[in-house]
């Protein structure tokens, strides 16, 4: 199990790396994170929803993802509320206070244990990931994902600390000092992550840390920029460009407060294009194409873009011939109206959309989670695939429908609306991972000479590179010896 001194120390990426290492070494690993909080989710083959990080880790392990790998997912809908997804299905919206202080914690713990126990019948070893810091004293009695889970699993636990943010001695020492004896006994080693420069410079620090804690430092992982693993949540957007680059071919993503599934743009980031995330309407004028992304609070984010006058910039850009496309919540915003009669996102209300597409959306109580195989553009167009995660239905009313995607399987419904090659919307997350769709978008934007990667092959190479990086800098012999004792 990989746990942290804080959030964003690298737990998810290191867990993915170990899933690939164990696969390479002839084992059958599977990832597990009891509780995840993320707006970046994914759909399993069974049509259930889990955190994107566990889907990535399953991919690294060479297996299909399953809801048992992430039985509890919290999807924030505002500063104080989140949708609870339990075993892949929505189970209502709760405030943070109600979730952590409510009487259902015992029931959630039983669900978490059940999911883990089911996984152990099919995979070995299970690579567990913790959440945030393991030394949050005020949450320990309500913990269902960190050391309580480690105790249930009898896991070998490795504490990850991010040296790049500073204070690594205090964070490691303090974290371990705050653990009760039965939890401290599970800690097998310390991993120092994101070290910049020559790792030999930390040799003395390594010895000091081991002397202070009595726990071996099992590795010092150098900071890397040349390995690209899809990250867990939009916290990673802090490190993405926020402005256009003069002289480059620029594509803008509107940075919404509740932006979800930003991994929709991972394939674009692997090209020579300059992709940037902005909520500045002036910045949109420099883009050859603008993408309105998914949102966990469509009406709230629609109000936000109006408050920033981004709506005017989008309407002006489309009128000027700039490519403007919307994905999921972005597609809903591009329509004429978005209605929330059941209070899915808060108080029941109806909001006027951007009016770029002649469609109306009604948010529904039931969530759609499904993988889709489609034909892009026409009934016999190129194959494309993606997945839907949304609480709403979008249609044209009495007007003729002009779908963007047509079902590859008889009996299924078409997807999206294509006003023109330069203005369309879709519910399909992952649509830009499809070569045909990317080719069309770039052609419509007048962009030539861009090499598009085989994104699936690219991801496989990244998992292998990550595994090799870990092998070089972490004492795997020590870790395997500890596993043999378990």
DSSP string, 23-48: HHTT-B-EEE-SEEE-S-EEE-TTS-
Instruction: Write out the two tokens for 28.
Output: 């059958």
Write the DSSP symbol of residue 408: S
Selected catalytic residue, list 19, 328, 384, 423: 328
Peptide bond into 416 cis (omega under 30): no
Look-up of token digits 């609870």: 84
* CA dist 85 → 5, 73, 195 (Å): 26, 5, 36
Pair 127, 32: CB distance under 8 Å: yes
Distances (CA, A) of 213 to 159, 177, 209, 210, 409: 12, 8, 6, 5, 59
Tokens matching residue 326: 């919307």
d(CA 350, CA 304): 15
Q: Choose the catalytic residue: 244, 258, 274, 429.
A: 429
DSSP letters for 87-112: TTEEEEEEEHHHHHHSTTHHHHHHHH
Structure tokens at 275: 């992709």
SS3 label, residue 297: coil
* Catalytic residue flag (residue 429): yes
3-state secondary structure 166-201: CCHHHHHHHHHHCCCHHHHCCEEEEEEEEECCCHHH
Whole-angstrom CA distances from 132 to 7, 65, 376, 478 are 4, 22, 40, 25
First vs last Cα of the chain: how many Å apart? 13
Cross-strand partners of 86: 72, 89
Which has the closest alpha carbon to 432: 453, 412, 414, 407?
453
Provide the total of helices (H) and of strands (E) in the chain, helices listed first: 16, 27
- 103-106 long-range Cβ contacts below 8 angstroms, 24+ apart: 105/142, 105/144
Q: How far is CA 196 from CA 16, 166, 167, 210, 439, in A?
A: 21, 12, 15, 20, 38
Structure tokens given for 76? 């924030």
Could you list the active site residues? 328, 429
């Amino acid at each position: 199990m990989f746990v942290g001194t804080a959030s964003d120390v690298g737990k998810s990426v290191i867990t993915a790396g170990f899933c690939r290492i164990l696969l390479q070494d002839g084992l059958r690993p599977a990832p597990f994170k009891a509780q995840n909080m993320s707006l970046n989710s994914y759909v399993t083959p069974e049509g259930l929803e889990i955190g994107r990080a566990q889907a990535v880790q399953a991919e690294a392990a060479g297996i299909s993802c399953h809801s048992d790998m992430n039985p509890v997912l919290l999807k924030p809908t505002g500063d104080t509320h989140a949708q609870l997804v339990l075993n892949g299905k929505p189970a209502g919206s709760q405030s943070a206070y109600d979730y952590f202080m409510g009487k259902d914690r015992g029931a959630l713990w039983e669900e978490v244990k059940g999911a883990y126990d089911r996984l152990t019948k099919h995979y070995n070893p299970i690579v567990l990931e913790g959440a945030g810091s393991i030394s949050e004293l005020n949450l320990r009695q309500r913990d269902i994902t960190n050391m309580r889970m480690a105790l249930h699993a009898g896991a070998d636990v490795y504490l990850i600390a991010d040296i790049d943010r500073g204070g690594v001695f205090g964070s490691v020492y303090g974290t371990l000092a705050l653990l009760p004896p039965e939890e401290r006994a599970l800690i097998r080693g310390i991993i120092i992550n994101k070290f910049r420069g020559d790792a030999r410079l930390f040799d003395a620090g390594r010895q000091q840390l081991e002397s202070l804690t009595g726990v071996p430092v099992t590795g010092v992982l150098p900071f890397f920029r040349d390995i690209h693993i899809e990250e867990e949540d939009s916290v990673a957007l802090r490190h993405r460009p926020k402005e256009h680059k003069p002289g480059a071919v620029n594509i803008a993503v509107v940075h919404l407060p509740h932006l979800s599934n930003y991994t929709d743009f991972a394939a674009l980031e692997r090209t020579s294009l300059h992709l940037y995330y902005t909520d500045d309407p002036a910045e949109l004028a420099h883009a050859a194409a603008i993408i309105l992304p998914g949102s966990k609070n469509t009406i709230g984010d629609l109000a936000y873009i109006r408050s920033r006058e981004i709506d005017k910039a989008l309407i002006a850009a489309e009128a000027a011939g700039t490519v403007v496309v919307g994905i999921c919540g972005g597609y809903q915003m591009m329509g004429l109206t978005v209605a929330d009669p059941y209070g899915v996102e808060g108080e029941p209300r109806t909001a006027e959309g951007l009016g770029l597409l002649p469609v109306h959306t009604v948010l529904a109580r039931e969530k759609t989670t499904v993988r889709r195989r489609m034909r892009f553009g026409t009934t016999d167009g190129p194959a494309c695939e993606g997945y839907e995660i949304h609480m709403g239905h979008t249609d044209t009313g009495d007007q003729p429908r002009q779908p963007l995607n047509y079902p590859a399987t008889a009996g299924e419904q078409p997807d999206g609306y294509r006003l023109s090659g330069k203005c369309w919307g879709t519910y399909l997350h992952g649509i830009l991972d499809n070569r045909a769709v990317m080719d069309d978008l770039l052609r419509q934007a007048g962009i030539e000479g861009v090499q598009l990667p085989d994104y699936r092959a690219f991801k496989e190479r990244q998992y292998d590179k990550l595994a090799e990086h870990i092998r070089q800098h972490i004492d795997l012999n020590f870790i395997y010896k500890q596993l043999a004792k378990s």
